[in-house]
Structure 1
Amino acid sequence: MDVAQVLDASDAHPWASAEHAYGSAEDVPGLLRALAGQDEEAAAEALGELYGCLLHQDTVYAATAEAVPYLARLAAAGCRTAELLGLLGGIAESGDEHGVARGTCRAAVAAQAPLLLPLLSDADPGVRSAAAWAAGHTAAPREVLPALRGRWAAEPEAAVRAELLDALVRLDPAGGAEAAATAALDPAQPPRVRVVAVLACLDAGLPWTAGHHEALLSLLPAGELVAGRFDTERAEPLRYAVEALLERDTADGREAAFALLEAALRAPRPGARTEALWAARAACLLSRSAPARLVPVLPPPLPDEPSPARDVLSVLELLPHHAAPAAPALAALAAGEAEGEGAGDGDLADRALAVLVVADPERAAPLLARDLAGRPRALDAAAGFRAPADAPPFPFTPELLDAVRARLAAPDSALNRNEPLHLARLLTGWGERAAAALPELRAALPRLPRAVPGALAAVCPERKREKVAGELRDAVAMGPAEGRLAAARALYGMTGETGPLLDALAAELADGGHTMCEAARTAGELGPDAAELAPALHAALGGPAAPGQGRTAPRLEADAEVAVALWRITGEAGEAVRVLDGVLAQAAAEPWFRWTGVRAARAAALLGPAGRPLRPRLERLLADPERGQAPAAALALLACAPDEADRTALADAVLAAAEEGADPETALEALAALAGDGTWMPAGEQARRPAALAERDRRVRGWGVEHEIVRADERFRERARAVAATVAGLAP
């Protein structure tokens, strides 16, 4: 096939009518020409841009499907064949399609099988591997399997055989499983083939046997055996195997996963233990029973072995509440008692102390006081920014108070980025016990205007309140603009004065900056006392977007907060309903506004029956389970139209969302609301599902900031048990 003919055909294609990740696909023919050109640097750049626009973060588009024939023809013509086969395989693999019918892009790749399959016999093993990878993702077994089987019988190269085996099992799990199992258990097979075979057995759903267990253990560390494969999902074979076994959600699967990890953690090869720790980390993120099983068998984070200590800490950082057995080793590491390679490793000590702060706060406090400036992670943990709102404050000690005072007095250039907020939060938690820090707080007020006011009010003893209140009034009137709202809120908390707070809120609303949501929320909390802010709130509402420009999520969310504030202040629902209707409409129209829709629905719930006109919008959110907005929509429907809500249908939608991990906390709120109004009578399976949410092994909360997942899921589980008990009491 002639490259010039392919490029000429591409030039004639109506690309302007198709879109990719960055809009119009008019740039595709130019990228294809650069890809096929003689300039190596330009060709590599073009390949990267094609990945970025046609397979953007594993998402495919209408232009992707239209580009596939040209990519396949160029590959068949010898133009960067292996790289383009990798791209085609990635396109076929993707299940995230935007602006195109499901399966369109995969079908486009499958249609190119006559061009792709001959490449299984190419002289270059890299091309043969890439062809197997692409063919294996076509979901076209009838067209592809005969060629794959023929090549499997003839292929001598281990790397290519591994890709062929993976493709065979993917397209024909039942038929390919026998070959995979044989290869996995035969020590005579090349290690690269064996490790792929073990994973293929899991993919095929074969029972996990002692043979699989021993085979995988014997191959550790296995990461190097799969290096260079297109399949990044299985780049860590041990972790993949553990996750696959846990996802079977059976007692046998869990036991197999934990036994595999325990054996790998005892392996004498350092690389094997490292991979075991990575896999243990993944297991704890996935399984509720993993921490109790794995923490006792983790190797201690020894100060004189910094490399394995870092890997152990990467596990303990996920579950510091379970790390008490490691407290002595953590304390030694945090104290800097390292020798050799680990000596003077401040980051390692800081990470260890951050875990100890949660696992054993009393033991951690003197260590934190010893080097507060050099322990930013530990300070963050002690300040409790990741802890639940009702968590107790970090232990007070005079030594730690002295250290905090010294840091407040340090020049701004010596403070870490968020350190002032962390120091202030510590002091706020200690209250008047930290009154000795008043001089430093007062001196820092002009320099740290956002962090200091709340702490200043919290630690101030009664005898000095009048003086401190005067300083806060001055900060509202004359201090740095970015701190006036914080000062006004602190003053309001001390004295109940609304005047300075209203002035500060009016200024923030007029500014329209990133604090708009906070200002509107605070205004709404004041209720009718903030009546004079109504004009400023009306003025703060965003107008229609300019032609061709959508409104941003922050702008929409600010409008929702302003709408609720107006309702709380004026008691008039018309404007709030109009604004929320617009926000909900735009949130439903754009896939990236998922959380905007959730927040707008929660705002609608605050209106109560006055929000009834929003019912059609809310029902549309409820009907789209993939967007994860059903729990918030159900909560709003119960509040806005309680007499018209089908409680059984609402409960089903909410439970389905929670079971998939879609806004599970709001789902519990909605279930509690359903259970609390006395009209929902759950029966049969529906009555049992809340308890299943609480007691299942797979975490419900499996997304978000990694260090918060385990604790967030544990808090969810506690609340879910309470809701489940209430629901069980309603069942007939």
Structure 2
Amino acid sequence: MFSGLHDIGWSSMDHAYGSAEEVPGLLLALRSSDAEERREALSRFYGAVHHQGTVYECTTASLPFLFELAEDVTTPDRADVVELLVSIGSHALDRCDGRYGGSEAEVEAVAAMRGRAETLIGFAHDPDVRVRRAAIPGLGLFIDDVDRGLTVLRGRLSAEASIVEQLLIVEAMATLALRLPEHAEAQAMAWFTELAADSAVAPQTRLAAVVQRARCAPERMGADAIATAIGLLRELDGASVPAEAWCDPPGPVGSAVSGDGAPPQVVAAFEDLERHGQIHSPCTDLLRSFHRTLAAKVPQRTALLAEQLRSLDPGSRLDGIRMSAEVMESWRGDHTRLIMLVAEHLSSAAEQVSAEAAATLNACHAIAEPTREALAEHVAAQYAAHGPDVWFTSQPHLRRSHQEAVQALARLGDVRAVPSILRALDSGDDAWRAVQVVGALPQAADQLTPRLCAHLKSLDLTQALWEMSARSDLAALAALADNSAVGVITATLATAVPHELWSVACSALDALRALGPSAAPAVETIRSLITASDAHVRPAAVAALWAIVGDPDEVMRPLLDLLDDSIPFRISAAADVLAEIGPRAEEALPRLRGLLNHGYEWVQVPCAAALWEIGGDAEAPAVLDTLLQAWEQNPSTANHVVACLERMGPAARPALPQLRSELHHTQRRGRYNSIDNDERLQETSRTLVERLTTK
């Protein structure tokens, strides 16, 4: 085995982290009798040689040896090797079929996989079910002989007793039809239709036929497809598949990153990634594929999700809640029914389902107003059942359910979240989660501000671990804008500067800016930072100085210097302050006019907005032209553009066509394509259209 392995110039090739000279050792380790050594080798292969799906020259050069491993029945973990082979081939194929085509290594990888199609077919007939499961997706991707592919897939379906393998076979047939439509589509579509109507076939497999038929020809999907799918989902409640038949045991939550030395926010982010990657029903991937096919058909997707959320199986409901979040986060539409259906699961007896429902309402808080009372009742019920310490209970799903629900309630500005927030801040347990939302509760600032200040003072800013927490505290204090925090914020700034904690210094400056004239005790410290070397601190200091002192003469020179800077965010920050100054900043007009031709939309938009605030109607034509072009070229600027159009009043009337066009988009847009930004974008656009069309 591995003849010629060491004749290859591995050291002349690279992988994600440098020289590929370690590849022979990794390949040999995949045959080790030590399970831990094999696990580490496979992990390293994915992490370096096939990093995030990348196919390097060394990845392609590994394929013959990986095939040798997979073909040898004495190789341990053969299924993992087959899965790796199919992953390499599928990622290479995606790139080759993409807009820019594949690299030479990717083209060669696809050719190598297609050249071993018969070997893949053999793997799909292997006695080991895990090997078959890993190989079946490759049949649709790498068999070029259509008749051979159709015959193999039909034969495998009749031979496979397991639902999981049957679903993979139906999907592989669709993949083959989509890849070679002129030769395979008609036969595949006829097969799907026959399969979907066969009552002797398991409902999961019939559902797969419905979904894959729609995937192959979405334009031909009839109105009955949703109804058929819903009917089959109802049948599934009586045909559940044991988890051990389809689900690999999940790893421990948080295993992707060590808690030692990592900020809790980072640990939690990795936990969320792991959680998002888990599935709890064998039909989840299938239903996700159906939702992707349905795309902007939000009412149909809502009807499908409503049925998923009614399932008797907690795992199906859990995955249905996550799919509901994906719909609401990605697509516009009236989501009232869907978000209320999710809220009904707050009271689920399955704590993991309850936690996922609360997390979805938190993530979708911008449209979660209809669920306010359900959230408040859920939080109150948890208090009644588990006491005031439920925020930091040792039961992980209950803890998550309570914390997410409290955060969602707080983001709605509801004071019924305050007791749990205070408990978190007083105890210090997961206090960072409470800090994230306190800014939405200004009515409780008298209770929240002292605790935030105490927490901020307790942080050892000489330890990088607490830098993120300090910034969160400062952002919360900025949102609350309570004058009693001036002293602590100023002291934090004074500590951050000599330690060159520039990100903390910027957050402190932003908080002082939010406090305005009441932050006067910090003025001398702020003035000393106007010439700071850090790229971010200087514009933050100028902005804070203007907000506190309000003297254009003191900030005009540094603002003009920032306009002449080569760093885009410094120009944009200066333009934002100039817009606040307004007509008294007329000295900046010539430079702002020149910056309308800058090559970056995130410079053009703030400069155009400043030009309007300073020059008014006389600048309207140039401002409008710049704003609308930037919006067209970069939709992420939409919130800023529309905000300026709103301030322009009747002068913005030429923007009506673009405003109407914006409202016809079906996907979320605006900054980061987030729900909150998109909802504001839609609301402001509708208001503007109505206002500008009313005589």
Relative to the length of structure 2, the TM-score reads 0.67
Partners of 2:327 and 2:497 in 1: CA distance: 54
Residues 129 and 396 of structure 1: CA distance in aligned 2, closer, same or farther (over 3 Å):
closer
Residues 498 and 49 of structure 1: CA distance in aligned 2, closer, same or farther (over 3 Å):
closer
The reply to whether residue 700 of structure 1 matches residue 663 of structure 2 is no
Q: Which string of whole-angstrom CA distances, capped at 9 and with x for unpartnered residues, describes residues 16-72 of structure 1? A: 2x4432234343344334445665544432322221123322344454445445544
2:328 aligned partner: 284
> Which of the residues 660, 682, 687 maps onto 1:717?
682
Partners of 2:451 and 2:43 in 1: CA distance: 52
Q: Which string of whole-angstrom CA distances, capped at 9 and with x for unpartnered residues, describes residues 681-719 of structure 1? A: 67xxxx645334335443225958xxxx33232123223
Partners of 2:631 and 2:456 in 1: CA distance: 51
2:265 aligned partner: none
Query: Which secondary structure does the structure 2 equivalent of 1:335 belong to?
Result: helix
2:110 aligned partner: 110
The reply to whether residue 429 of structure 1 matches residue 424 of structure 2 is no
1:459 aligned partner: none
1:167 aligned partner: 172
Residues 700 and 477 of structure 1: CA distance in aligned 2, closer, same or farther (over 3 Å):
closer
Offset of residue 569 of structure 1: 1.6
Contact 1:61 1:97 in 2 (8 A): no
Partners of 1:302 and 1:244 in 2: CA distance: 28
Partners of 2:626 and 2:559 in 1: CA distance: 34
Partners of 1:674 and 1:693 in 2: CA distance: 18
Q: Which amino acid aligns with 1:665?
A: N
Contact 2:426 2:451 in 1 (8 A): no
2:213 aligned partner: 201
Contact 1:93 1:106 in 2 (8 A): no
Contact 1:303 1:336 in 2 (8 A): no
The reply to whether residue 394 of structure 1 matches residue 443 of structure 2 is yes
Offset of residue 522 of structure 1: 1.0
Q: Which amino acid aligns with 2:318?
A: T
Contact 2:605 2:640 in 1 (8 A): no
Contact 1:145 1:168 in 2 (8 A): no
Partners of 2:660 and 2:292 in 1: CA distance: 20
1:332 aligned partner: 380
2:532 aligned partner: 509
Between stretches 599-608 and 210-219, larger displacement belongs to 599-608
Query: Which secondary structure does the structure 1 equivalent of 2:347 belong to?
Result: coil
Contact 1:334 1:353 in 2 (8 A): no
Contact 1:509 1:519 in 2 (8 A): yes
Instruction: Report how many aligned residue pairs link the two structures.
Output: 597
Offset of residue 169 of structure 1: 0.4
Query: Which secondary structure does the structure 2 equivalent of 1:280 belong to?
Result: helix
Residues 180 and 477 of structure 1: CA distance in aligned 2, closer, same or farther (over 3 Å):
closer
Q: Which string of whole-angstrom CA distances, capped at 9 and with x for unpartnered residues, describes residues 537-558 of structure 1? A: xxxxxxxxxxxxxxxxxxxxxx
Q: Which string of whole-angstrom CA distances, capped at 9 and with x for unpartnered residues, describes residues 101-149 of structure 1? A: 62345533331223232331343343343333224334xx6x2533322
Offset of residue 292 of structure 1: 0.5
Partners of 1:115 and 1:171 in 2: CA distance: 16
Between stretches 167-176 and 76-85, larger displacement belongs to 76-85
Residues 672 and 72 of structure 1: CA distance in aligned 2, closer, same or farther (over 3 Å):
farther
The reply to whether residue 690 of structure 1 matches residue 674 of structure 2 is no
Partners of 1:350 and 1:700 in 2: CA distance: 29
1:310 aligned partner: 355
Partners of 2:649 and 2:72 in 1: CA distance: 65
1:546 aligned partner: none
Flag structure 1 segments of 5+ consecutive residues without an equivalent: 433-437, 455-474, 531-564, 584-596, 622-629
Q: Which amino acid aligns with 1:712?
A: N
Structure 1 residues 34-113: aligned runs within 5 Å: 34-35=29-30, 40-61=35-56, 63-68=58-63, 71-72=66-67, 75-76=70-71, 81-94=78-91, 95=94, 102-104=101-103, 107-112=107-112, 113=114
Offset of residue 526 of structure 1: 4.6
Between stretches 196-205 and 642-651, larger displacement belongs to 642-651
The reply to whether residue 361 of structure 1 matches residue 414 of structure 2 is yes
Q: Which amino acid aligns with 1:102?
A: G
Residues 572 and 44 of structure 1: CA distance in aligned 2, closer, same or farther (over 3 Å):
closer
Offset of residue 366 of structure 1: 5.5
Between stretches 117-126 and 648-657, larger displacement belongs to 648-657
1:522 aligned partner: 541
Partners of 1:371 and 1:284 in 2: CA distance: 29
Partners of 1:187 and 1:98 in 2: CA distance: 37
Partners of 1:523 and 1:126 in 2: CA distance: 62
Partners of 1:97 and 1:22 in 2: CA distance: 23
2:257 aligned partner: none
2:235 aligned partner: 218
Contact 1:356 1:363 in 2 (8 A): yes
Offset of residue 259 of structure 1: 1.8
Query: Which secondary structure does the structure 1 equivalent of 2:51 belong to?
Result: coil
> Which of the residues 517, 522, 536 maps onto 1:493?
517
Partners of 1:97 and 1:670 in 2: CA distance: 43
Residues 31 and 289 of structure 1: CA distance in aligned 2, closer, same or farther (over 3 Å):
same
Query: Which secondary structure does the structure 1 equivalent of 2:363 belong to?
Result: coil
Residues 50 and 689 of structure 1: CA distance in aligned 2, closer, same or farther (over 3 Å):
farther
2:558 aligned partner: 569
Q: Which string of whole-angstrom CA distances, capped at 9 and with x for unpartnered residues, describes residues 655-702 of structure 1? A: 3642xxx45535656988999988x967xxxx6453343354432259
Partners of 1:166 and 1:255 in 2: CA distance: 25
Partners of 2:496 and 2:316 in 1: CA distance: 62
2:404 aligned partner: 351
Query: Which secondary structure does the structure 2 equivalent of 1:283 belong to?
Result: helix
Partners of 1:375 and 1:32 in 2: CA distance: 47
Query: Which secondary structure does the structure 2 equivalent of 1:57 belong to?
Result: helix
Residues 425 and 605 of structure 1: CA distance in aligned 2, closer, same or farther (over 3 Å):
closer
The reply to whether residue 654 of structure 1 matches residue 631 of structure 2 is yes
Residues 37 and 654 of structure 1: CA distance in aligned 2, closer, same or farther (over 3 Å):
same
Between stretches 647-656 and 300-309, larger displacement belongs to 647-656
Q: Which string of whole-angstrom CA distances, capped at 9 and with x for unpartnered residues, describes residues 336-370 of structure 1? A: 4359xx99667344433333334462444456557
Residues 111 and 369 of structure 1: CA distance in aligned 2, closer, same or farther (over 3 Å):
closer
Residues 26 and 693 of structure 1: CA distance in aligned 2, closer, same or farther (over 3 Å):
farther
Relative to the length of structure 1, the TM-score reads 0.64
Structure 1 residues 379-390: aligned runs within 5 Å: 384=437
Residues 723 and 484 of structure 1: CA distance in aligned 2, closer, same or farther (over 3 Å):
closer
The reply to whether residue 4 of structure 1 matches residue 3 of structure 2 is yes
2:287 aligned partner: 241
Residues 637 and 210 of structure 1: CA distance in aligned 2, closer, same or farther (over 3 Å):
same
Partners of 1:34 and 1:695 in 2: CA distance: 55
Partners of 1:567 and 1:131 in 2: CA distance: 67
Query: Which secondary structure does the structure 2 equivalent of 1:267 belong to?
Result: coil
Contact 1:274 1:311 in 2 (8 A): yes
Partners of 1:32 and 1:211 in 2: CA distance: 47
Residues 284 and 504 of structure 1: CA distance in aligned 2, closer, same or farther (over 3 Å):
same
Residues 371 and 45 of structure 1: CA distance in aligned 2, closer, same or farther (over 3 Å):
closer
Contact 1:267 1:273 in 2 (8 A): yes
Contact 2:542 2:559 in 1 (8 A): no
Contact 2:604 2:630 in 1 (8 A): no
Residues 91 and 655 of structure 1: CA distance in aligned 2, closer, same or farther (over 3 Å):
farther
Percent identical residues: 19
Offset of residue 426 of structure 1: 6.3
Query: Which secondary structure does the structure 2 equivalent of 1:4 belong to?
Result: coil
Q: Which amino acid aligns with 1:310?
A: A
Query: Which secondary structure does the structure 2 equivalent of 1:278 belong to?
Result: helix
Partners of 2:209 and 2:442 in 1: CA distance: 52
Offset of residue 172 of structure 1: 0.5
